């Protein structure tokens, strides 16, 4: 049994966590603290990387001290420090990763560099502390990423598809901005649709579905369609009911595309377990749609509770303990990597083979 300190500063959340890893591979989160910078960035309509980094500098030592106090942690009991090294905003990653390396050096403890997306991918199993159920398909939907992953074993990840332009969360945020909703747009857009009793069928906004069972996403067409619509219909921003209708229709378009491609990925791989993670996985409509579709398709759906879908350090500590339990070396990087990929892509040949298999099964 040993204790791992997790540190996450890849974007606009400063987060620290303490996890206890047991010899049988189980992992228990002792404490998880998140300091959100929403109030700092809200008036600016988006994240300013330098301001975010400086807020991490201020917040991180305070959070670590608070975590230490809450858990009565003695430095001598600590086994290792796990920090996010990418992907994310370079100045922000540098703060957390350098803090971790410096602390490790001072305490004589190992420091591990973790991939932020691996944290999200495994986060549905965080609440139970149990081992992820391989093989599974993972949908990661956040402000910076929209990815479909085929996970076959610990650390064995294949990229099935992803967005070719905006991430799903980015689409929510940009469209919310067009609708004069505050940052971050996703939760505000959902609230506007829900509280304003928006009609999801009011507008048939486009959903990009490239032909041939392709598992990529595209959300920039939707954003452009909404922009043109609002230019012609400015009252759809100012009139509460009409704005709620636009919000509900946009949400339906994004949820529709995510759900359809994700279930297609399960069918193509023949995998029966689906992990859904990242900030957009907080969206109630997405959760409802995936629950219904997975039930119908006989796919077991694993989703973290909403508070563990957005960025946190518990998922980083958990990913570290999982890697260690699986006998994988947790690479200590000398530097951050702002565009660190989680997985390599699938070869065109394999994609075609999978599609043929699904077609044959359906015929």
Q: Which one of 32, 84, 115, 142 is in contact with Zn ion (CB under 5 A)?
A: 142
**Residue closer to ligand KG4, measured from CB, 18 or 47:** 47
Q: With contact defined as beta carbons under 8 Å apart, do 179 and 151 qualify?
A: no
Site string for ligand KG4, 216-235 (x = CB under 6 A): --------------------
**Residue closer to ligand KG4, measured from CB, 26 or 287:** 287
**Residue closer to Zn ion, measured from CB, 207 or 277:** 277
Q: With contact defined as beta carbons under 8 Å apart, do 140 and 309 qualify?
A: no
Strand order in the sheet with 156-162: 300-303, 273-277, 136-141, 146-153, 156-162, 344-345
| Binding status of residue 321 toward ligand KG4 by CB under 6 A | no
- Determine the Cα–Cα distance for residues 235 and 28; give it in Å rounded to an integer: 51
Distance of CA 140 to the CA centre of its chain: 5
Residues 172-201 that bind ligand KG4 (CB under 6 A): 172-173, 184-187, 190
CB of 143 to Zn ion, least distance (A): 7
Site string for ligand KG4, 98-137 (x = CB under 6 A): ----------------------------------------
CB of 271 to ligand KG4, least distance (A): 23
- Determine the Cα–Cα distance for residues 34 and 53; give it in Å rounded to an integer: 15
Nearest of 33, 26, 39 to residue 7 by alpha carbon: 33
Which residue stretch of 136-144, 184-192, 288-296, 324-332 sits at the interface with Zn ion (rule: CB under 5 A)? 136-144
| Binding status of residue 311 toward Zn ion by CB under 5 A | yes
Max intra-chain CA distance, the chain: 64
Q: With contact defined as beta carbons under 8 Å apart, do 266 and 299 qualify?
A: yes
Question: DSSP assignment, residue 163?
Answer: B
Site string for ligand KG4, 230-269 (x = CB under 6 A): ----------------------------------------
End-to-end CA distance of the chain: 52
CB of 87 to ligand KG4, least distance (A): 9
Interior CA angle at 133 toward 122 and 149, to 5°? 55
Question: Which residues contribute to the site for ligand KG4 (CB under 6 A)?
Answer: 11, 142-144, 169, 172-173, 184-187, 190, 278-280, 282-283, 310-311
């Amino acid at each position: 049994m040993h204790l791992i300190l997790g540190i996450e500063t890849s974007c606009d959340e400063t987060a620290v966590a303490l996890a206890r890893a047991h010899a049988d591979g189980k992992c228990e989160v002792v404490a998880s603290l998140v300091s959100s910078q929403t109030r700092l960035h809200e008036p600016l309509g988006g994240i300013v990387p330098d301001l975010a980094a400086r807020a991490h500098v201020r917040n991180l030592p305070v959070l670590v001290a608070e975590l230490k106090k809450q858990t009565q942690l003695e430095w001598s009991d600590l086994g290792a420090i796990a920090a996010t090294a990418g992907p994310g905003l370079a100045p922000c990653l540098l703060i957390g990763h350098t803090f971790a390396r410096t602390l490790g050096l001072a305490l004589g403890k190992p420091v591990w560099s973790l991939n932020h997306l691996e944290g999200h991918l495994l986060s549905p199993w965080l609440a139970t502390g149990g081992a992820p159920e391989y093989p599974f398909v993972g949908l990661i939907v956040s402000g910076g990423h929209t990815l479909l992953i085929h996970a076959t074993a610990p650390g064995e990840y294949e990229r099935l598809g992803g967005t070719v332009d905006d991430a799903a969360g980015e689409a929510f945020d940009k469209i919310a901005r067009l609708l004069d909703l505050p940052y971050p747009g996703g939760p505000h857009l959902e609230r506007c649709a829900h509280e304003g009793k928006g009609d999801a069928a009011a507008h048939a906004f486009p959903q990009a579905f490239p032909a041939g069972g392709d598992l990529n996403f595209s959300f920039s067409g939707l954003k452009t369609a909404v922009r043109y619509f609002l230019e012609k219909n400015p009252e759809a921003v100012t009139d509460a009911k009409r704005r709620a209708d636009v919000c509900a229709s946009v949400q339906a378009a994004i949820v529709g595309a995510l759900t359809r491609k994700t279930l297609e990925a399960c069918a193509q791989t023949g995998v029966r377990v689906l992990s859904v993670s990242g900030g957009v996985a907080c969206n109630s409509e997405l959760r409802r749609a995936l629950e219904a579709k997975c039930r119908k398709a006989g796919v077991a759906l694993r989703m973290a509770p909403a508070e563990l879908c957005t960025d946190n350090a518990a998922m980083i500590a958990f990913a570290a303990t999982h890697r260690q339990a699986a006998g994988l070396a947790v690479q200590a990087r000398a530097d951050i990597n702002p565009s660190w990929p989680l997985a390599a892509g699938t070869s065109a040949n394999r994609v075609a083979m999978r599609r043929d298999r699904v077609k044959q099964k359906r015929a």
